[in-house]
Amino acid sequence: MAEIHGTSAPEYSKLGELLSSTVDSGKDVGASVSVTVDGETVVDIWGGWADEAKTTPWSENTIVNVWSTTKTMTFLSALVLAERGTLNFHEKVATYWPEFAQNGKGDIEVRHLMGHTSGVSAWEQPVTTEDIYDWEKSTSMLAAQAPWWTPGEGSGYHALNQGHLIGEVIRRIDGRMLGDFFAEEIARPLGADFHIGLDPTEFGRVSNVIPPPPLDFDLAALDPNGVLIKTFTGPAPGAEESWTPEWRQACIGAANGHGNARSVARIQAIVANGGTVDGVSLLSAETIQMIFEEQAHGVDQVLGLPVRFGMGYALHSEAVPYLPEGNYAYWGGWGGSSIIVDIDRKISFAYVMNRMDEGLLGDTRGINLAQEVFKR
């Protein structure tokens, strides 16, 4: 069996067995798993390899691009400003970012950005991946375009641009870029190794993601003017783009966060544990409850799946039948990474890996681990 490193409380020992089995089978190449309970880390394990050639072991400090799991860090950043009273989710975006009112977007509220209901789910063409590295250019482009559906009427997953939208609101309020705000107000106080915009000095410990198999449906058969195609082509970086220094260093709060399961679970333990972890207090119970204000519930017109969105995070619904009833806030990243927060039992669970599977949001590896955690 593949050797698994780290520590685990006895009642969670099965997680190590599950991780070992997926490494043995090849479903995982390298991965990490972490669980916190009452703000304390009870599982911190890792195993496998940091590279596809299996020459470098996945270590305690290996980090990887977690794709849309990054969004939960952007949500938390916005919640911190809401806690401080400087951001109101029900206020118009243009109150903070006046230019956003262009082209019929004057009534869009911040909650619409958080809940994927703004109608601005990607950049209008023409747009390149290089454009989104340029903050001023990319946010100006978003401010200038018109919504693709009536804001507030259903969700359309803001796959790549949500961090730019929320991040610009944060910048207009606070003055700092999202990555800097997150680092200074959340990650560093918690001693958490997660980065939105990675310093080149950290590149040596990054495990490059292993791209997923190609999608098994014909994009050409879909409506080129539909929200789905416009979202996934506006722009459409491949997984290999995350290997580049330009991607790693950019501020892409929807997709380029780098971390491991330990850092993801520890940061989101703030939400699970009533707003405080190890003496670091960021949120009140009242602010945490804002997460559960439903913004959309139905088939998402980008994902094509039923999703129930709260204030940023997805909430318990038919989309996660493997979780028992309860107050959960969760999301995941392209290829498999995931974070689940159980407010009732004060548990946070994270799975982070390098081998991407074909799913846009999670897969059986993370589901099997989550079932083991939340079966109690």
What is the per-residue pLDDT for 223?
87
Mean pLDDT of 123-133: 98
Mean pLDDT of 289-309: 97
pTM of the shown model: 0.98
- Among 329, 339, 328, 332, CA closest to 303: 332
What is the per-residue pLDDT for 344?
97
Is the model's pLDDT at 216 over the cut of 80?
no
CATH match for 60-361 among 3.40.710.10, 3.90.1150.10, 3.40.50.1110, 1.10.3720.10? 3.40.710.10
d(CA 246, CA 236): 15
d(CA 123, CA 137): 11
Question: What pLDDT, in 10s, does the model give residues 226-252?
Answer: 999 999 999 999 999 999 999 999 999
d(CA 314, CA 329): 6
Total residue length of the chain? 376
- Among 318, 333, 328, CA closest to 374: 328
Contact 124, 145 (CB under 8 A): yes
For residue 106, give Cα distances in angstroms to 2, 131, 174, 194, 251: 55, 24, 21, 34, 25
Residues 6+ apart with CB under 8 A from 104: 146, 147
d(CA 40, CA 119): 39
- Tell me how crowded residue 153 is: count the other CB atoms within 10 A of its CB: 10
CA 87 to chain centre: 21
Burial class of residue 199 in the structure, from the number of CB atoms within 10 Å of its CB (0-12 exposed, 13-18 middle, 19+ buried): exposed
Phi and psi angles of residue 345, each rounded to the nearest 5 degrees, phi first: -105, 5
Mean pLDDT of 136-141: 98
Is the model's pLDDT at 217 over the cut of 80?
no
Mean pLDDT of 171-186: 98
What is the per-residue pLDDT for 358?
86
d(CA 358, CA 335): 6
Mean pLDDT of 304-331: 95
d(CA 342, CA 348): 6
- Helices 364-374, 13-25: crossing angle, 10 deg rounding: 170
d(CA 238, CA 296): 29
Contact 316, 327 (CB under 8 A): yes
* Ranges of H-type helices in 102-259: 110-114, 129-133, 135-144, 162-174, 178-182, 188-190, 227-232, 245-249
- Tell me how crowded residue 125 is: count the other CB atoms within 10 A of its CB: 10
Question: What pLDDT, in 10s, does the model give residues 26-84?
Answer: 999 999 999 999 999 999 999 999 999 999 999 999 999 999 999 999 999 999 999 99
What is the per-residue pLDDT for 215?
73
What is the per-residue pLDDT for 148?
98
Mean pLDDT, rounded, of the chain? 97
Contact 354, 239 (CB under 8 A): no
Report, in this order, helix, strand and coil percent for the chain, each rounded to 5.
40, 20, 45
Burial class of residue 243 in the structure, from the number of CB atoms within 10 Å of its CB (0-12 exposed, 13-18 middle, 19+ buried): middle
Domain ranges for the chain, please list them. Answer: 60-361
